[in-house]
Structure 1
């Protein structure tokens, strides 16, 4: 692999995965990269070659002005794969440091923070994607075999340890919400922690009228004359999609639920639809490369997660003007939904239950067109005022 040097100061953005994977972290790396280019930096992204379709990805490629480098994870199973993964990552990070000498490194994965610190990277920023201890508990409970529980527990312990080290050894530590700050503070009591907000692409996620929504549905092949609620994310227990499905059978009027994503829980979610006789009301739309088209085509958004560090999907829904139903933060709901929506006319539920979600969904379905349009404008204005990728890029690069 040949890496050429540049006269521009270099910013390194890194996580364990990047495109063609689709998700909030990948989204943040892309938009930050574009902002740093506009600010006059050379930008490189380093990630693994992991991807959902197990495709062979190039070691290096240039996309939208950004050079993307990938280290190979190997096709072995077990500890052999893990060792190769680490070895290849460290080797690539050494090469990047030697050739580019980044003036700023923004990490979104705890292992990478530890690698970069050990290699001597300067101005090392850890933009925390989530707290492992809270993220992993739900998935650990999903293991049904003793071997699966043992493997899961060992992996859980390793990731917790690495994240603790990442909290300690980063030069600057950023989180996206007060909720996240409190989670990190329980683990690292001494480190200065700064709160910031992610951005949202206001051009991609835009507002359309109700008549335009029906036209979009025709174009997408999901024509539906009733009200449409949207959920988007990985099909895992923490997303709470089962609660959204259960709420459907309690609604007063005609409504459809769109589920965008894929994951381990899909089989269980489909089985739940069958048991509740709502198969015809739930559309499993898979992983989409242009989710903004589905936001625009939907009428409402459901934030059903029980764990979210922030919830990039809320910002995207706001930008598209979708009225949002979500649950308040509690001992069982560890999200920033209340923090984002508390001063808005969206619906915040006191309980995370099918009955509560159904009540909120019924309220939105009964909105007059004028009230709906007003809430659309309010949500769009909130996205425009508070969530900027340019502002975040500058905060992360600040020397303060």
Structure 2
């Protein structure tokens, strides 16, 4: 009988992001190994309750506002007989919390970040502060009671360690090189034309949710110090999208900043770019970094030794120096200098091949199964 795998999160394809992409890749990897894979996620109020994707059975619970969705998760897990699965992997606090309440002893929680650090800005308002307090309480319970907790970086291990002193396991995540890879110049130009991106311009690119910690305003500010033949491609959605458009127009850069909405095929934009920008001030890992490097894009990031910056970028690129360029400060001028260095620099083939070897979904699947 095939081994049964349950992957749990609050979102899945067609939603996209580092966590969603990781679950998709794990689903495909386990399926390739002949395993029976089930994924649970929210229906987000619009998605089908059941379908087959990437070789896995997808079940979606009803999206209910506030904390009502916890009941929906519980009902779906009971219906699927969660205890009958051989391996249970959860990537969200809520799904992990419910699995623990239901008495599941097999759950492995791969922490996507630490809420306490990632969402500290919520404390600035009453309702935000209430949400922050409740989720931090949920996080404390999950981190103290989950049998197996995995993290992707030293930064995350240190932050999880504030609430759980021992038994934190490390994983190197993977990247799907069948989706994220370099393409020929002719293919690159063809995709540019299809997406309405100028063929004759250099493209600096970043992707993610438009929120404060992503710090996308830095990329726009840096653009004013760069040559006119460089355009900025911003892909995503979120509460600050309109503010970023206003910022670009105020700086006279409206015609050089290209906004694209979130997409289930983000790999298209990695293929048209020349440089990938990580402007985040908080990024406990950063799946997008693996996707950028698999696409053979040089990465520009803020040095994590700068005060107020908590990222795992230096750790990810340890021994792969030609893949990344760090800024000496978080100012737009310094950031633009590093962008120019990335455009003019080159990636060493040995660094590139060893990087892909380290960050493999096959390796992470084997470790989770063991």
Q: Normalization by structure 2: what TM-score?
A: 0.94
Pair 1:354-2:332 in alignment:
yes
Return the offset for 1:34. 1.5
In 2, Cα distance between the equivalents of 1:361 and 1:257? 11
Return the offset for 1:117. 1.7
Counterpart of 2:52 in structure 1 is 62
When structure 1 is superposed on structure 2, of 375-384 and 340-349 the one drifting more is: 375-384
SS of the aligned residue for 2:206 comes to: strand
Counterpart of 1:335 in structure 2 is 311
Q: Is the 8 A contact 2:286 2:312 kept in 1?
A: yes
Pairing partner for 2:177 from 185, 191, 202 = 202
In 2, Cα distance between the equivalents of 1:130 and 1:301? 22
Return the offset for 1:215. 3.3
Q: CA 1:379–1:273 in structure 2 vs 1: closer, same or farther (change >3 Å)? A: farther
Pair 1:104-2:87 in alignment:
yes
Pair 1:26-2:16 in alignment:
no
Q: Is the 8 A contact 1:200 1:383 kept in 2?
A: no
Pairing partner for 2:281 from 302, 306, 328 = 306
Number of equivalenced pairs: 367
Pair 1:186-2:190 in alignment:
no
Return the offset for 1:36. 1.4
In 2, Cα distance between the equivalents of 1:211 and 1:253? 23
Query: What are the superposed Cα offsets for residues 45-75 of structure 1, whole Å, 9 maximum, x if unpaired?
Result: 111112xxx52x222222232111111023x
Counterpart of 2:362 in structure 1 is 390
SS of the aligned residue for 2:40 comes to: strand
Q: Normalization by structure 1: what TM-score?
A: 0.87
Return the offset for 1:216. 2.7
In 2, Cα distance between the equivalents of 1:264 and 1:381? 38
Q: CA 1:139–1:235 in structure 2 vs 1: closer, same or farther (change >3 Å)? A: farther
Pair 1:168-2:144 in alignment:
yes
SS of the aligned residue for 1:321 comes to: coil
Q: CA 1:358–1:209 in structure 2 vs 1: closer, same or farther (change >3 Å)? A: same
Pairing partner for 2:62 from 53, 65, 72 = 72
Query: What are the superposed Cα offsets for residues 262-320 of structure 1, whole Å, 9 maximum, x if unpaired?
Result: 11000110111111111111000111221111111111111111111211111011001
Q: Is the 8 A contact 1:196 1:392 kept in 2?
A: yes
Counterpart of 2:79 in structure 1 is 95
Q: Unmatched 5+ residue regions in structure 2? A: none
SS of the aligned residue for 1:17 comes to: coil
Q: CA 1:150–1:220 in structure 2 vs 1: closer, same or farther (change >3 Å)? A: same
Counterpart of 1:134 in structure 2 is 117
Q: CA 1:111–1:289 in structure 2 vs 1: closer, same or farther (change >3 Å)? A: closer
Pairing partner for 1:120 from 72, 79, 103 = 103
Q: Is the 8 A contact 1:327 1:350 kept in 2?
A: yes
Q: Is the 8 A contact 2:276 2:297 kept in 1?
A: yes
Return the offset for 1:383. 3.6
Return the offset for 1:138. 3.3
Q: Unmatched 5+ residue regions in structure 1? A: 1-6, 75-80, 142-148
Counterpart of 2:241 in structure 1 is 266
